[in-house]
Structures are given as structure tokens and as C-alpha cells.
């Protein structure tokens, strides 16, 4: 099997089935080939790997694959496929920072769509249901580039039988559409409703709008999935428990139906959704490493560090091992009560500010 076929197989086979050891065996040969291709097709990748004096064929383990800091996507054109792009994804640039620019080829886009569908089906089944997007349609408008928020809505919309947006756009502002939301719950509250939104938008806009309008719903089978933006909530001292409890209360569901996902625009196609045990798992075509803050060596179970996401989906950028600015911790491997195999981890926090890594700098954490 060539590399493309191996990747297709990893996407289409039942997810979360490999033990930690099996994953090492399945993923490493593919990543070696991908690294060679990225090396040939992008001068920045070439110069990076040349500096590391890396013999790609002799990389002994997944942990030995050099991690690429996410910041590199801000400063360099890391396109590694020669053909035309399907789209470019941008990271949401907060506080005036340069956004990351992620080039997406048609092949990468196709794999991301299939991969996300495989993950979502594993967690929620294939049944389509009423879908409340806690956002405005502007976040999901096809332009030259779409944001992480738009990409998430688009990906999860495979679960939608009917999609309703909770907000409208008015001159670039999000305005709550009370009537539409009331109508949605009036028609669907007895059903298995799926709601999705950006964590901070849900807390600061949606929750506030419900409170202001004195709205409460009773939707016991509603599942609310949310991601991103914990930094701002931590600043307001809103914990995951408070978040889940508050939203479950307002919507008439249970706190355990409020599920956090972790994802990043650099690794679109992969979302890490809480399992019933509250853990996050890597699907077949991805792996998670936790790296030591200072040495960047792989950390063991129970040692927090930077989250590194290894991802086999992209051919148009080097996504095989991206070192994030996020902090997480591996809790175990192969024995999660939910039955999914491989490592499982928790997301701890996002660094407030990151500087050059591995230089012994002190970082401020939130
Ligand atoms: Zn689990």
C-alpha cells in the first residue's frame, strides 16, 4: 500500500482501536514518508530539518519526530504541495497578533472532512438531529479563508437535520435572535438536539442573552459541544464545572451532556472530544505527545507539558508533529473506561504568552 492508501485506511477503519504500541508501528512509517515529501517541497522545512541534521529514514520513534512550533505558520509559507489550494485557514488572531496561515489542498480538505466525520460518528453516531449553531452565519461564510469557528460548524454540520443559528450579523456585531431560538426549542425540545459553539461566545453572548431575556428551556436530551477560548473564561474564574452546570441549567439538560472539545486550526479535521470519562483520545490518524517545558523531551503519564499533535491528514503543510502553546497531561493509555484505546489526555490551559521555546525562558501560564 502506498502512503495515500494507508492514510485512507486509517481514516475509514473503526476509530480509537490501536493500542499505544500499535499506533507507533502504524504511524511512524507514514510520517517518515511525509517528512521526506515536505522536505523536498518546501525550502523552510528543508532548512529546518537540515539544521537538525535529521536522518529521516532512521527516526526511531514517534517521540523522535521533531516538533514544529505552531508559530512557524505565522512567519513562513509552509505550503508543501505543488498544486492549487482549495482554501487557506487562518487562526483567529487575538490582540493584533499575526494570524497563522494554513494552506489546504483539495486532498487535505477531503481527508479532513472524512476524518472529522469518522470522529463525530464515533462519539455521537450517524443520526441527524436538530442543530443549534451558537454563532452567527458570518462565521461559516465561504470566502478565501474561513476561521476555526466556521470550520468546526461546517464539520459538525454532518449531524444536522436542520441547522439554526442563534445569532444574526448586524454591522459586524452578533445579535441574539430570541424568536428563532424560542421557536427552535418549541419544536425540538423533546428530541436529541445537538448544539455547538465557541466556548467564549456561549458564555459571554449566549448565556448572557438567555439571562437578559429570562429564557429557560427544557431539553433533557440536548448535547452541547463547545471548544476554544478557555483563556478568557479562566480570567473570569469560570471553571469547566461552572460552565457545564450553568449551561445545562439554562437549557434543561445535564452537565455531563456538555462536552468540551479541543482542536486547533492547524489540525483541522481532528477534534478531541471528551469521552464519558472526561478524557480526550487521539483517533487512528493522529497521536498526542506531551513535551517537557524546557527540554521538549516526551513527558510520561501525569507530567504536564506542551501538547503536541501528530496528524497524518495534511499533504499541503507539515502537520505531522505540531507543538502547540497549550498545556496538557497524559492520564493513561489503553485502559480508559470508555473503551477507546491508545493514550488519553486532558487539556489544562493555554499559555498566555509564548516566547521562543526550549531556551530556558520562564513562561507565564494562565
Ligand atoms: Zn475515554
Q: How confident is the model at residue 139 (pLDDT cuts 50, 70, 90)?
A: confident
- Report how far ligand 1's centroid is from the alpha carbon of 263 (Å): 17
- Report the C-alpha gap between 339 and 10 in whole angstroms: 18
In this predicted model, what pLDDT tens digit does every residue of 64-103 receive, in sequence order?
Answer: 999 999 989 999 999 999 889 998 888 765 556 788 899 9
In this predicted model, what pLDDT tens digit does every residue of 153-205 receive, in sequence order?
Answer: 888 999 999 999 999 999 888 999 999 999 999 999 999 999 999 999 999 99
- Report how far ligand 1's centroid is from the alpha carbon of 278 (Å): 7
- Report the C-alpha gap between 165 and 13 in whole angstroms: 33
Cell of 288: 498526542
- Report how far ligand 1's centroid is from the alpha carbon of 54 (Å): 35
pLDDT > 70: what percent of the chain?
91
For residues 232-259, average pLDDT: 92
Question: CB count, 10 Å around CB of 200?
Answer: 17
**Nearby residues of 282 by Cβ (< 8 Å), 6 or more positions away:** 16, 23, 270, 272, 288, 309, 310, 342, 343
- Report how far ligand 1's centroid is from the alpha carbon of 178 (Å): 36
Mean pLDDT (the chain, rounded): 89
In this predicted model, what pLDDT tens digit does every residue of 329-352 receive, in sequence order?
Answer: 999 999 999 999 999 999 987 764
Top-confidence residue, 361 or 169: 169
Q: How confident is the model at residue 239 (pLDDT cuts 50, 70, 90)?
A: confident
For residues 215-226, average pLDDT: 96
Class at the top of the CATH hierarchy for domain 16-68+278-350: mainly beta
- Report how far ligand 1's centroid is from the alpha carbon of 134 (Å): 26
- Report how far ligand 1's centroid is from the alpha carbon of 333 (Å): 10
- Report how far ligand 1's centroid is from the alpha carbon of 267 (Å): 21
- Report how far ligand 1's centroid is from the alpha carbon of 62 (Å): 22
- Report how far ligand 1's centroid is from the alpha carbon of 16 (Å): 10
Question: CB count, 10 Å around CB of 47?
Answer: 12
- Report how far ligand 1's centroid is from the alpha carbon of 120 (Å): 14
- Report how far ligand 1's centroid is from the alpha carbon of 67 (Å): 25
pLDDT score recorded for residue 141: 67
- Report how far ligand 1's centroid is from the alpha carbon of 363 (Å): 31
What's the fold here for domain 111-262?
Rossmann fold (3.40.50)
- Report how far ligand 1's centroid is from the alpha carbon of 305 (Å): 20
pLDDT score recorded for residue 92: 62
Q: Which residue in 79, 120, 122 sits closest to 100, CA to CA?
A: 79
- Report how far ligand 1's centroid is from the alpha carbon of 271 (Å): 14
- Report how far ligand 1's centroid is from the alpha carbon of 224 (Å): 18
- Report how far ligand 1's centroid is from the alpha carbon of 340 (Å): 6
Answer yes or no: are the C-beta atoms of 366 and 325 closer than 8 Å: no
Alpha-carbon dihedral 300, 306, 309, 315, rounded to 10 degrees: -130
Q: What is the 3-state secondary structure (H, E, C) of the chain?
A: CCHHHHHHHHHHCCCCCCCHHHHHHHHHHHHHHHHHHHHHHCHHHHHHHHHHCCCHHHCCCHHHCCCEECCHHHHCCCCCCCCCCCEEEECCCHHHCCCCEEEECHHHHHHHHHHHHHHHHHHHCCCCEEEEEECCHHHHCCCCEECHHHHHHHHHHHHEEEEEECEEEECCEEEECHHHHHHHHHHHCCCCCEEEEEHHHHHHHHHHHHHHCCCCCCCCCCEEEEECCHHHHHHCCCCHHHHHHHHHHHHCCCHHHEEEEECCHHHCCCCEECCCCCCEECCCCEEEEEECCCCCCECCCCCCEEEEEEECCCCCCCCCCEEEEEEEEEEEECCCCCCCCCEEEEEEEEECCCCCCCCCCCCCEC
Low-confidence winner among 112-121, 134-143, 217-226, 298-307 (lowest mean pLDDT): 134-143
Question: In the chain, where are the structural domains located?
Answer: 16-68+278-350, 111-262
Amino acid at each position: 500500500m502506498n502512503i495515500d492508501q494507508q492514510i485512507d485506511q486509517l481514516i475509514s477503519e473503526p476509530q480509537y482501536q490501536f493500542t499505544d504500541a500499535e499506533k507507533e508501528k502504524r504511524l511512524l512509517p507514514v510520517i517518515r514518508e511525509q517528512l521526506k515529501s515536505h522536505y523536498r517541497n518546501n525550502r523552510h522545512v528543508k532548512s529546518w530539518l537540515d539544521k537538525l541534521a535529521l536522518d529521516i529514514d532512521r527516526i526511531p520513534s514517534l517521540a523522535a519526530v521533531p516538533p514544529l512550533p505552531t508559530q512557524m505558520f505565522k512567519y513562513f509559507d509552509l505550503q508543501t504541495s505543488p498544486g492549487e489550494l482549495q482554501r487557506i485557514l487562518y487562526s483567529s488572531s487575538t490582540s493584533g497578533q499575526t494570524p497563522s496561515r494554513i494552506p489546504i489542498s483539495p486532498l487535505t480538505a477531503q481527508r479532513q472532512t472524512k476524518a472529522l466525520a469518522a470522529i463525530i460518528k464515533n462519539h455521537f453516531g450517524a443520526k441527524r438531529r436538530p442543530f443549534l449553531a451558537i454563532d452567527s452565519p458570518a462565521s461559516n461564510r465561504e470566502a478565501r479563508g474561513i476561521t476555526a469557528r466556521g470550520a468546526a460548524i461546517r464539520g459538525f454540520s454532518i449531524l444536522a437535520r436542520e441547522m439554526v443559528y442563534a445569532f444574526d450579523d448586524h454591522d459586524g456585531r452578533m445579535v441574539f435572535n430570541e424568536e428563532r431560538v424560542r421557536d427552535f426549542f418549541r419544536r425540538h425540545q423533546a428530541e436529541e438536539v445537538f448544539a455547538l459553539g465557541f466556548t467564549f461566545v456561549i458564555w459571554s453572548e449566549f448565556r448572557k442573552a438567555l439571562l437578559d431575556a429570562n429564557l429557560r428551556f427544557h431539553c433533557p436530551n440536548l448535547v452541547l459541544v463547545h471548544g476554544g477560548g478557555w483563556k478568557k473564561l479562566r480570567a473570569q474564574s469560570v471553571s469547566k464545572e461552572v460552565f457545564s452546570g450553568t449551561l445545562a441549567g439554562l437549557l434543561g439538560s445535564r452537565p455531563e451532556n456538555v462536552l468540551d472539545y479541543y482542536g486547533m486550526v492547524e489540525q483541522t479535521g481532528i477534534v478531541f472530544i471528551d469521552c464519558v470519562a472526561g478524557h480526550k483520545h487521539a483517533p487512528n490518524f493522529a497521536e498526542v505527545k506531551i513535551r517537557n517545558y524546557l527540554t521538549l523531551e516526551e513527558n510520561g503519564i501525569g507530567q504536564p507539558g506542551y501538547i503536541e499533535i501528530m496528524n497524518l491528514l495534511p499533504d499541503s503543510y507539515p502537520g505531522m508533529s505540531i507543538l502547540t502553546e497549550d498545556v496538557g497531561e497524559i492520564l493513561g493509555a489503553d485502559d480508559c473506561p470508555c473503551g477507546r484505546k491508545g493514550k488519553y489526555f486532558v487539556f489544562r490551559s493555554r499559555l498566555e504568552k509564548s516566547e521562543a521555546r526550549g531556551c530556558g525562558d520562564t513562561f507565564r501560564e494562565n
